[in-house]
Amino acid sequence: MDRPYHDRDGYIWFDGALVPHRDANVHVLTHALHYASSVFEGQRAYAGQVFKLTEHSERLAMSARILGMDLPWTVSQIDDACRETLKANALADCYMRPVVWRGSEQMGVAAQKTRIHLAIAVWQWPAYFGEDAKKKGLRLMISPWRRPAPIPPRPKPRLPAST
């Protein structure tokens, strides 16, 4: 069996700094764990380059905004952090997981005073499909499911004019 993900060598980019993989930890009372206030991207690197990196970083930032999280990092800074993490781990072909989440400063559904965090991890993860699929190709389809449109905010009630 492979080692569990918490017990690996290498580095994880965590809130602006590369930290040893085993030291990248989050408290059990982190808002994201209790209220699912986190977003992530799953991306691959090939020959030392992350495939469609900026598109992934843009989607990560957009997903965070949808959940009401204002990232303290720009898309360009996220791209740079992804490249830095890849280089620090000396990997060329691997899986990369940037994840954004709300911290443990507050509990409750609308915890807007929580700190926003970003971590980027990489690890070896072979292709899902074998050599035969590489030669013959795959048959794929696009799911008909679409994310429902956000519910528009309700208009604020108007107070009666004072007489």
At a CB cut-off of 8 Å and minimum separation 6, what does 125 contact?
Answer: 94, 95
Q: Is there a domain that residue 40 lies in?
A: yes
147 in a structural domain: no
pTM: 0.81
Range of the domain at 119: 11-134
144 in any annotated domain: no
- Give me the pLDDT at residue 163, please: 59
Closest C-alpha to 41, from 30, 26, 53, 31: 53
Question: Does residue 146 lie within any of the structural domains?
Answer: no
Answer whether residue 70 shows pLDDT above 80. yes
Asked if residue 56 lies in contact with residue 98, where contact means CB atoms within 8 angstroms, the answer is: yes
Looking at the 3D structure of the chain, how many domains does it have? Answer: 1
158 is a domain residue: no
Residue 136 pLDDT: 87
Q: What is the CATH number of the domain that holds 53?
A: 3.30.470.10
In-domain check, residue 115: yes
Give pLDDT tens digits for 33-56.
Answer: 999 999 999 999 999 999 999 999
Residue 67's closest CA among 103, 26, 102, 29?
102
Local structure of residue 92 (DSSP, 8 states)? S
